[in-house]
Amino acid sequence: MRMLAAALLALLAAGCASHHRRAFPHPEQMSGFLEDYALLRQGGPNEVQLVYRNPKADWRSYNAVLLEPMTLWRGGQKSLDPIPKEDLLRLLSDFQSAVRTRLGEGYRFVDAPGPGVMRIRLAITEAHASDTVLDVLTAKRGTGRPHPAGEGPLDAETRRFIERAVIEGDIRDAQTKELLAEGVDWRPRTAPVLTTWAEVDRAFAFWADRLCGRLEARTGAR
C-alpha cells in the first residue's frame, strides 16, 4: 500500500512569509514515502519546510511532466473512516486539480517516461513510518455531484486532519529514476485556521503556485 505518500496541508498555509519551524523530524515521524530523509535540509524563505535538490540535475533539459495520481493516507486501520468520504475525495481532487492546472501553464503532460520528462509524486498524509497499518485513498474521479458544503464550512474531523497533515513529494527523471528533488511541507503553527472549503482551495492554489514557480525558474519554462 506504500505507493505514494504523504501529506497535505502544509499546503494549507495561507501565507508563507513567516516560516515557524518545527524541530527537524526523525524519519520515524515521517510517513515513509520518501526514500531518504537524510538528504533533507531546512528550506529557505518562501520554500517548503524541508528540501533537497540534486546539485548535478540538469533542470533545463526537462520540458514535460508525468504526474502520478495523488494519494491520501493516515496511520491505523480504518483511520480515515471518521472523515466523510466525500471530503476525502474532494481534498484529493482539489489538490490534484490545483497542481495540474498550474503545471499546465509551463509544461506538457505525458503518460509515459521519455526524454525530458520529470515524474512528480505528491500526496497528503498523517502517518508515520512506524505505523504497521495504513488507511490509503488514491485520487480518482469523484461522484460527479457537487459537494454538499459547496465553499462553506469544513466538517470537524476533516478540519482536524488538515491541521495535522503534511505534504511530501519528489521529482525524478522519468527514464532513469534519478532523484532530482524532494521535499516535505506543513502548515506553520502561526497560520490561520482553515474553516471553509473556499479557504482550503485558496491554500491549494497558493501552494501549487509556489511549487511550480520555483520549478519553472530552474527549468526555464515559460
pLDDT at 10 (0 to 100): 35
Read off the pLDDT band of 54 (50, 70, 90).
very high
Cα 7 to chain center, whole Å?
5
* Beta strand residue intervals within 68-195, DSSP E: 71-75, 108-109, 117-126, 134-138, 166-173, 179-186
Q: Are 210 and 46 in contact (CB under 8 A)?
A: yes
State how far the Cα of 152 lies from the Cα of 16, in Å rounded to an integer: 24
Helix extents (H) in 55-138: 85-103
* pLDDT tens digits, one per residue of 143-195: 556 788 889 999 999 999 888 888 989 999 999 999 999 999 988 878 888 99
Whole-prediction pTM value?
0.81
> pLDDT confidence of 33, banded at 50, 70, 90?
confident
Would you call 117 helix, strand, or coil by DSSP? strand
Angstrom distances, CA of residue 143 to CA of 59, 71, 77, 150, 159: 38, 17, 24, 14, 22
Helix (H), strand (E) at residue 51: strand 50-53
Q: How far is C-alpha 24 from the geometric centre of its chain's CA atoms? A: 19
Continuous segment of H or E residues that includes residue 53: strand 50-53
Q: How far apart are CA 208 and CA 100, in angstroms?
A: 8
Looking at the chain, the whole-number percentage of residues with pLDDT higher than 90 is 48
Domains of the chain plus CATH, in order, are 27-219 (3.30.160)
Cell for 5? Answer: 505518500
CA-based angle 15:96:147, to the nearest 5?
90
- Between 118 and 27, name the one with better pLDDT: 118
CB–CB of 106/221 below 8 Å?
A: yes
d(CA 88, CA 8): 11
